[in-house]
Amino acid sequence: MSAIHTWACVLLWISFASPDKTPDVMVTCAVSVECLLPCSFPPGSDETVEWFRQETIVFKFKRDENEESDENENGDKDKDSDETEQVERHASVFTHLVARGNATLMLRKTGLTDRGTYRCHVKTSNGEHNAKVIVKVEAPIRGLSLALSRLSGYEEMKCTVRNVYPAPRVTWATEPPTLEDLRPITRVLADKHKLYTVDSRLKLLKGRPDLIYICKVTTSYGGHAWTASLREREVRGFEGRDLTIPCHAPAYLNSPFLNWTFSNGEDDRTHILTYDSRSGDSRSNAPWDSHVELDGFRVPFGDGSLRLMDPKHSEHEGSYTCVFSMPYNTHTEHTDVTITAGERSSSGSPSYWWIVGLVIALLVLVLVGMFAYLKLKGSTTTKQRTDPEEVTELHLVKDSTVDSHQSESSPLTSAGGNNGQSNPQTSLQTT
């Protein structure tokens, strides 16, 4: 029983003798941005605030002196004084908050050299307080670019992200998905500030001109993943006929912001219109407002196709770009539009009206030939039917004439013509 009482007294003495212990705080700072390292303590008087990084003092504040110092408690300069002075130039506390128990350290223009473990030590009339802060410094992704490149002698998609820390991971996909293996080439380079630039390239798949190429970048510190997708098109139209320029976003973009621009290859890109799917607000610039039309009901579902009305070769031929954008996601479609002057067709496909005209002409010729043939055949049949009748009538007339002559010249044509004498041949037959 005495042993248990002894151990209880020891533990109670340790709890009162040791300074208050607070859990470690994890802080992630962004490069070139202000960062706050929290430290709170019970308010008192005669405060002395000291901040250490890896046991090297970086900031000191004492209430009675009311000034910052870069010296250690013994008044001597730290052996790494040059580094300490460089750090202190962008480190400070909110002195007016110290009396309220707030010794938060502010780092201005944080860099990768500010990574490490920091310790806040505060001494007041009420005692001492210690807090530990673990600082991670990152350079988050600020933007992602995806473009078609032909510099390598063949067409490829180039995905680039710059000034990132730590080095991110790049993956590729297509929509619709393809069974072919995607074999990108990715290069990771670090500059003098230890910030990374990632360049990933993927050859275009042959025989699949309408694919959407998707580049996805993820970071090891668990931040937001970024995606950029791109599709290239070619559309042919004809002057004076309305033309639809397609633009369809991938399925993972929901209620995006849409922006259309135009370039004729000479001037910078001009703004055509924008549409906000969430507010339904649409804005177009002159003179495009009288030549373009957008179905706002389809945009939230990923259909941002633009209707170009009464296009003209000199004004509307060029490169059209539509961009669907959301936080951390963009989809771009480049469409090269060719407007042929002097034609009247609503589609960019070759015209086959000449074939229709040729068929109609052949049918007319066939009908005319058949009509002429039938007419000629009918005439011949009539003539064939008329000739036998004439011949028959001639024969009848001829026979009638011959019979009349014979009846006049022959004594046997009548009973009175033989003078009462019988025919000798008849007589002989009787005898």
What is the pLDDT at residue 73? 39
pLDDT band at 330 (very low <50, low <70, confident <90, very high): very high
Closest CA to 111 of 193, 197, 25, 198: 193
- For 31-64, b/e burial (b = at least 16 CB within 10 A) is beeebebebbbeebeebbbbbbbeebbbbbbebe
For Cα atoms 79, 84, 90, give the angle at the middle one, nearest 5 degrees.
175
Q: What is the pLDDT of residue 337?
A: 94
Kindly indicate the confidence band of residue 268, based on its pLDDT and cuts at 50, 70 and 90. confident
Chain-centre distance for alpha carbon 382: 77
Q: What is the pLDDT of residue 382?
A: 57
Residue 84's pLDDT band, with cuts at 50, 70 and 90, is very low
Cα 38 to Cα 329: distance, rounded to the nearest angstrom: 33
Q: Which domains, from first to last, does the chain contain?
A: 19-73+80-138 (2.60.40.10), 139-224 (2.60.40.10), 232-351 (2.60.40.10)
> Over the stretch 280-306, which tens digit does the pLDDT of each residue have?
888 888 889 888 999 988 898 889 999
Contact 215, 231 (CB under 8 A): no
Tally of CA atoms within 13 A in the half-sphere of 39 that contains its CB: 28
Cβ neighbours, 10 Å, residue 235: 17
Better pLDDT: 264 or 378: 264
Instruction: Give residue-wise pLDDT tens across range 180-220.
Output: 889 999 999 999 889 999 999 999 998 888 899 999 999 87
pLDDT band at 347 (very low <50, low <70, confident <90, very high): very low
Residue 359 binned pLDDT confidence (cut-offs 50, 70, 90): confident
Q: What is the pLDDT of residue 401?
A: 47
294 Cβ contact partners less than 8 Å away, ≥ 6 residues apart: 258, 260, 273, 275, 282, 304, 305, 306, 307
For residue 273, which of 241, 239, 296, 250 has the smallest C-alpha distance?
Answer: 296
pLDDT at 117 over 90: yes
| Token duo for residue 162 | 């710059």
- Please state the rounded mean pLDDT for residues 142-155: 88
Residue 21 or 127, more confident: 127
pLDDT at 374: 83
Max CA pair span of the chain: 199
Tell me if 137 sits within 8 A of 110, measured CB to CB: yes
Task: Report residue 342's pLDDT band, with 50, 70 and 90 as the boundaries.
Answer: low
Burial (CB < 10 A; 0-12, 13-18, 19+), residue 321, is: middle
Pairing of strands 25-30, 127-138: parallel
pLDDT for 261:
95
Sign (positive or negative) of CA dihedral 173, 176, 177, 180: negative
Q: What would the mean pLDDT of 333-350 be, rounded to a whole number?
A: 70
Of 21-25, 211-215, 268-272, minimum mean pLDDT range = 21-25
pLDDT at 69 over 70: no
Instruction: Give the pLDDT of residue 397.
Output: 44
- Asked whether the beta carbons of 97 and 104 are under 8 A apart, the reply is yes
The whole-number pLDDT of residue 46 equals: 87
Is 263 in contact with 270 (CB distance < 8 Å)? yes
Q: What is the pLDDT of residue 213?
A: 95
In the predicted model, what is the mean pLDDT of residues 36-51? 92
Q: What is the pLDDT of residue 161?
A: 95
Across the chain, mean pLDDT equals 78
Residues listed for the chain: 431
In this prediction, residue 375 has a pLDDT band, given cuts at 50, 70 and 90, of: confident
The band of 371, judged by pLDDT with boundaries at 50, 70 and 90, is confident
Q: What is the dihedral of CA 336, 342, 348, 353, to 10 degrees?
A: -170
pLDDT interval class at 14 (50, 70, 90): very low
Q: Give the Cα separation of 382 and 377 in Å (integer).
A: 9
> For residue 399, what pLDDT band results from cuts at 50, 70 and 90?
low
